[in-house]
């Protein structure tokens, strides 16, 4: 994914775990974050922790959840926490990029509920 987005003109940072993601979020500002629900082996839904953190620190950042472990309940929770899009794997990278571009081009209309 990093190679695909970099090749298509995006500046990309990646994090392998929650701590690394938190460090990156504390150090910079992002237009869009693509977040998996699982950030390591057998780590249920800790990606939602990152969604919450991003929404608190940078409410203008758009968030895409991309996961193979989603359910309608988890999707609802992710949206309540601030996620803008919820995509289920497998998803063609061109489709993910289309969603990302759409989020970058459209301003957030109303803040998600707190």
Q: Extract the tokens encoding 46.
A: 């800790």
Stated as kind and residue range, the H or E segment containing 16 is: none
Q: What is the pLDDT of residue 6?
A: 96
pLDDT (0 to 100) of residue 93: 95
Say how far apart CA 68 and CA 59 lie, in whole Å.
Answer: 25
Q: What is the pLDDT of residue 5?
A: 96
CATH class of 2-105: alpha beta
pLDDT score recorded for residue 86: 94
Q: What is the 3-state secondary structure (H, E, C) of 33-65?
A: EEECCCCCCCCCCCHHHHHHHHHHHCCCCEEEE
For the chain, 114 residues long, the average pLDDT of each consecutive 10-residue run is: 95 90 92 86 73 90 89 90 92 95 81 52
The pTM of the full predicted model, rounded to 2 decimals, is 0.85
């Amino acid at each position: 994914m990093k190679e695909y987005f970099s090749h298509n003109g995006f500046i990309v940072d990646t994090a392998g775990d929650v701590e690394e993601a938190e460090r990156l979020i504390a150090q910079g500002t992002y237009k869009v974050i693509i977040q998996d629900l699982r950030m390591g082996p057998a780590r249920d839904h800790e990606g939602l922790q990152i969604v919450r953190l991003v929404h608190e620190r940078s409410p203008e950042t758009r968030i895409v959840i991309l996961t193979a472990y989603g359910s309608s309940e988890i999707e609802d929770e992710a949206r309540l926490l601030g996620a803008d899009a919820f995509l289920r794997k497998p998803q063609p990278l061109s489709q993910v990029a289309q969603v990302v571009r759409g989020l970058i081009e459209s301003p957030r209309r109303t803040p998600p509920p707190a």
